[in-house]
Amino acid sequence: GAHTRVDAVVGTTLAGPARRGEVLTDVRVLGPRLAESAAGPDERIVPIPLADAALMDVLRPGDIVDIVAAPVDEMTEAKLIATDA
């Protein structure tokens, strides 16, 4: 449901863009209710920090991506760890 107390949402992170005056519900902020509503029983929602902040202009909530683990050194190759994620 809708959050009725300001202190319930101060310091939380929005799941996506919000308009001024928009009612914030339990699925509009990151937390277990968002995960329950967005993921099936065999799915997981995990945060992925982006190395390049410019990607935020390209990616949007709900986009499907492939995830590649970056090499840790010159001897290691990049590794595909998830597709259609």
**Helix, strand, or coil (residue 32):** helix
pLDDT of 50 over the 80 cut: no
Quickly state the pLDDT bin for 20 (edges 50, 70, 90).
very high
Against a cut of 0.85, is the pTM above it? no
Q: Are strands 79-82 and 67-69 parallel, antiparallel or unpaired?
A: antiparallel
Q: What is residue 32's predicted lDDT score, i.e. its pLDDT?
A: 67
pLDDT of 75 over the 80 cut: yes
Q: What is residue 35's predicted lDDT score, i.e. its pLDDT?
A: 67
pLDDT of 9 over the 70 cut: yes
Give the residue carrying structure tokens 């992925």: 48
Q: What is residue 67's predicted lDDT score, i.e. its pLDDT?
A: 85
